[in-house]
Amino acid sequence: QVQLVESGGGSVQAGGSLRLSCIASGYAARFYHMAWFRQAPGQEREGVAALDTDGRTSYAGSVKGRFTISQDKPKNTLYLQMNNLRPEDTAMYYCAAAPWQLTPIEALPLRSPPPHWGQGTQVTVSS
């Protein structure tokens, strides 16, 4: 049974930083492709950043240059470093895992969604 548990969300002012973590259990991290998604109230869920097992990364245009996805494989932990946060980054953030490639992120809406999801962590950015 794959389990993903996110943490690190919170409330910050615009321009601030947060680092989200996602601890995975039930499998070896090196076998799964990982991604961060977010969903704001009344909006569609969108892919934010993806990291494939070969190290390839992909970012949504709205976060490129501000967010960094990374992974500590021995710890089975996925991270999302978020810098220069903006009010429009406010959303529930979810990590997800899939046995198939998740990059490029623009192609995610055309593929089956990842089968494994965390419960989410809230990020609120005030102006």
- List, for residues 38-67, the tens digit of each pLDDT value: 999 999 999 999 999 999 999 999 999 999
The more confidently predicted of residues 30 and 26 is 26
Distance of alpha carbon 34 from alpha carbon 77, whole angstroms: 10
Distance of alpha carbon 72 from alpha carbon 5, whole angstroms: 15
Residue 77 pLDDT > 70: yes
The more confidently predicted of residues 118 and 29 is 118
Residue 29, pLDDT score: 64
Distance of alpha carbon 118 from alpha carbon 23, whole angstroms: 9
The average confidence (pLDDT) of the chain is: 94
- Span 30-37, average pLDDT: 90
Distance of alpha carbon 124 from alpha carbon 127, whole angstroms: 10
